[in-house]
């Protein structure tokens, strides 16, 4: 039977699938549901220092080829997630989970990271540099100068395994510039990609979500080619010590196969998890294993990053 086991930053996971931050991860009940599913791990909703109500509803809609959202980082605040993770470490010492966070300013981001550094948390931290939905706050990782400054300041005191969640980039020069910055730091992973920011979905004569007059992050089937391009572009450019988590457009085992072929070590499921619930992890894992068995692959390493080019 093929294995979908994987590793990130030296931590082992029984399965390479997990939720994408934002889906099934706001409350402890949702996180427990993902933990108890076929997923290999979970990531929390991106935490800020204080709880946030987020943007007005309706702020998330499934649409035929994916989803649009402008949630605006609703969350229960860092202490809620950190306390739960610390408790979970005692209950499940052999498993590793991800804590997502970002501040409403660089200074708040450092307060959050210092809190994690000083805590007993021994899992993986994902710094979300890519939320497109907070009015007046641009996606941080589109500003290379600010990104480099935040990472430089963070690594002066942060010694735990840290990765970053990235927005999609669309230009080869931007892949080059972003990778050159990321390669300066002891990052453990980059997560490609967050939603494609600020799309518009129109039904009849109106937008379908309330915040920002309908502008929102696009997920699902629409974004797989962009996600794969980002995974592969960073696989080609980053130091081998920086692993890649692939996120975007995962509906089937074939989609996971493609993310891994492009270089991902772990793959996150967002819109499909929202549409289907945690049984999606079992279905997608079985589909991936069937593809691996058919091709004679026993482990993800047999095909990870081995995307073929045409001559
Ligand atoms: C949100 O809460 O607006 C979505 C989170 C994200 O895109 O990072």
Query: What is the extent of the structural domain holding 25?
Result: 6-54+74-197+220-302
Per-residue pLDDT averaged across 169-182, rounded?
Answer: 98
Give the mutation target among 71, 142, 198 for probing the ligand 1 site: most ligand atoms within 8 A of CB: 71
Query: pTM score, two decimals?
Result: 0.98
Q: What is the pLDDT of residues 50-86, one digit of tens each?
A: 999 999 999 999 999 999 999 999 999 999 999 999 9
The pLDDT of residue 198 is 98
Domain contains 10: yes
If you search the block for the tokens 């990765």, which residue do you land on? 163
Domain contains 229: yes
Question: For position 280, which CATH number holds?
Answer: 3.20.20.70
Q: What is the pLDDT of residues 209-243, one digit of tens each?
A: 999 999 999 999 999 999 999 999 999 999 999 99
Q: How many CB atoms lie within 10 A of CB 75?
A: 27
At 158, give phi and psi (nearest 5°).
-90, 120
Confidence of residue 195 (pLDDT cuts 50, 70, 90): very high
The pLDDT of residue 284 is 99
Q: What is the pLDDT of residues 246-300, one digit of tens each?
A: 999 999 999 999 999 999 999 999 999 999 999 999 999 999 999 999 999 999 9
Domain contains 63: no
Domain contains 182: yes
Cα distances (Å, whole numbers) of residue 6 to 225, 227, 297 = 23, 20, 14
Domain contains 251: yes
Per-residue pLDDT averaged across 78-101, rounded?
Answer: 98
DSSP helix/strand/coil, 274: helix
Domain contains 143: yes
Domain contains 168: yes
The pLDDT of residue 180 is 99
The pLDDT of residue 123 is 98
16 is an active site residue: no
CA of 153 to the centre of ligand 1 (A): 24
Per the DSSP assignment, residues forming a β-bridge with 148 are none
DSSP helix/strand/coil, 249: coil
Domain contains 269: yes
| Domain total in the chain | 1
Mean pLDDT score of the chain, rounded to an integer?
98
Q: Which residues are known binding-site members for FMN?
A: 45-46, 128, 165, 193, 220, 248-249, 270-271
Rounded-to-10 torsion of CA 193, 198, 202, 206: 140
């Amino acid at each position: 039977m093929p294995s979908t086991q994987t590793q990130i930053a030296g931590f082992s996971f029984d399965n390479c699938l997990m939720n994408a931050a934002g889906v099934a991860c706001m409350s402890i009940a949702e996180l427990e549901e993902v933990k108890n599913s076929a997923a290999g791990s979970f990531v929390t909703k991106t935490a800020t220092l204080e709880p946030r109500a987020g943007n007005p509803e309706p702020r998330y809609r499934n649409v035929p080829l994916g989803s649009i959202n402008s949630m605006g980082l609703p969350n229960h605040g860092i202490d809620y997630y950190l306390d739960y993770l610390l408790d979970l470490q005692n209950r499940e010492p052999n498993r590793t989970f991800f804590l997502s966070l970002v501040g409403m300013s660089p200074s708040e981001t450092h307060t959050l990271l210092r809190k994690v550094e000083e805590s007993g948390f021994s899992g993986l931290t994902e710094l979300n540099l890519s939320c497109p939905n907070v009015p007046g706050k641009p996606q941080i990782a589109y500003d290379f100068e600010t990104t480099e400054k935040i990472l430089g300041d963070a690594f002066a005191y942060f010694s735990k395994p840290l990765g970053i969640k990235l927005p999609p980039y669309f230009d080869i020069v931007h892949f080059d510039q972003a990778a050159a910055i990321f390669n300066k730091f002891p990052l453990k992973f980059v997560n490609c990609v967050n939603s494609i920011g600020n799309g518009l979905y129109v039904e009849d004569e109106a937008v379908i979500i309330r915040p920002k007059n309908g502008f929102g992050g696009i997920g699902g089937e629409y974004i797989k080619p962009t996600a794969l391009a980002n995974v592969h572009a960073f696989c080609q450019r980053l130091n081998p010590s920086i692993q890649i988590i692939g996120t975007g457009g995962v509906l089937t085992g074939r989609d996971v196969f493609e993310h891994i072929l492009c270089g991902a070590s772990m793959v996150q499921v967002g819109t499909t998890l929202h549409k289907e619930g945690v049984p999606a992890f079992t279905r997608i894992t079985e589909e991936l294993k069937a593809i691996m068995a058919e091709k004679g692959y026993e482990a993800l390493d047999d095909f990870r990053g081995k995307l073929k080019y045409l001559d």
